[in-house]
Amino acid sequence: MKASHWPHVLLTVTVVRQEEKQLIAALRERGCTVTVAKLADLAGVLNGSAPVPDLALVRNLAHHEAVEVTRRLATFGVPTVNSAEAVELCGDKGQQALLFGRLGIPHPTSYLAYDLDQVAERVAELGSAVIKPVSSSWGRGLARVTDAATMECWAAGRESVDAAGRHFPVLVQAYVAKPGYDLRVVVVGGEPVVAIERASADWRTNTHLGATVRRTDLSVPVRRLVASVLDQLGPGFYGVDVLIEAGTGRHYVLEVNANPEFARSAPVHGVDIAGLLADHVVARCSPATYRLPAAA
C-alpha cells in the first residue's frame, strides 16, 4: 500500500463501546485514518462538506439506524461493512426465516403471525414454541409458550402494551431443546474465525443474560451451515447463531447478527476479532496491495 494514501475509514456508531474502542485502535495500528460518526455527523459526508471515506464500518445499534446509514452511504458510493442488503436481512428475524425456508437452510420451523389468533393457532400446532419480535437483540422480548395457559398469559401481556397490534408480525418458532448451550460463530470476511459455546441453565443462552462462554471447534457441520449463509449474505462481519438439538445432534441456523459484540468473549477465546476485522477493512479499501494475515 502506498504511504501517500492510507485508508480513511468512517466508523458509524450510536455510542462508542469497548468493541468500537478496540476497532479504532486496531485500524489506527494499521495506518488507517478513522473518523467516528454518529447519525447526524453523516450530513457532512453526504452533503460534500466532509472528506469522503474509502469505506464505512457500520456499528449502529438500532436496526433502522443501521439500515439508514448503509443505504444512504451505498447510494452515495461509499462501500460499507456490512452491505445494506445484509444489514436489512440480519435485522429482521422474519425475513431470515423466510429466506432459510426457501433455500432449505436448516432452521427451526418458523411462522409469521399477524394477530393473536394466528399466534395461538401456531403455538397449538407446534406444541412448544418461542415467540419473538422480528427485530430485537440481547434476548429481549422472547417468550417460551408451551400450552394454552402460557399462551393466554403471553396474549394478556401483549395486549396490555400493544392493544392496537402495531407491533405485529411476530415470529412463532418451534422450540428446539439444546444440550445446555448454543454456538456463536464469528465470521470475518468470508470465513468463520472462531466458534464459542454459550452455556446457561436458562433456555436463553445470551451472554447479556448471564451465559458463560468457552471456545470450541469449528466442526464440519458448522462450517457447512455458515457457508450456506454466506452464499446469501456475501462477505462481511457476522455473528451466526447455531443450535444443536439435544438427543439428535441436528444443527440449525437460528439467526445471523450483522453487528456482533466481541469485547466480553474475545479474552476467553483468545482470537483478536478487532484485529481480524481491521485487516478485512484495510483489504477492502485496497485489495490489490494488501494481503490478509492468516486467521488464528
Is 157 or 36 the better-scoring residue by pLDDT? Answer: 36
279-289 CB burial, b ≥16 within 10 A, e <16: bbbbbbbeeee
pLDDT-based confidence at residue 139 (cuts at 50, 70, 90): low
**What average pLDDT does the segment 118-133 reach?**
94
| Residue 287: per-residue pLDDT | 54
pLDDT at 291: 42
- Give the Cα separation of 276 and 256 in Å (integer): 19
Per-residue pLDDT tens over the stretch 173-212: 999 999 999 999 999 999 999 999 999 887 776 776 667 8
What is the fold of 109-174? Dna Ligase; domain 1 (3.30.1490)
**Dist. CA 237–CA 193, nearest whole Å:** 10
Q: Is the pLDDT of residue 171 over 50?
A: yes
Q: Tell me the domain boundaries of the chain.
A: 8-90, 109-174, 181-280
Tell which CATH architecture fits domain 8-90.
3-Layer(aba) Sandwich (3.40)
Residues 2-11 have a mean pLDDT of: 77
pLDDT at 224: 97
CA angle 227, 230, 234 (to 5 degrees): 145
pLDDT band at 215 (very low <50, low <70, confident <90, very high): very high
Distance CA 37, CA 60 (A): 10
Domain 181-280: homologous superfamily in CATH: ATP-grasp fold, B domain (3.30.470.20)
- At 296 the pLDDT is 42
* Nearest residue to 142 (alpha-carbon basis) of 167, 170, 164, 120: 170
Task: Indicate whether 161 pLDDT > 80.
Answer: no
Return the bridge partners of 213, or none: 198
Q: How many CB atoms lie within 10 A of CB 175?
A: 16
DSSP one-letter string for 184-250? EEEEEETEEEEEEEEE-SSS---GGGT-EEEEE---HHHHHHHHHHHHHH-SEEEEEEEEE-TTT--
pTM of the model: 0.91
Mean pLDDT of 150-172: 83
pLDDT digits (tens, 9 = 90+) for 96-123: 999 999 999 999 999 999 999 999 999 9
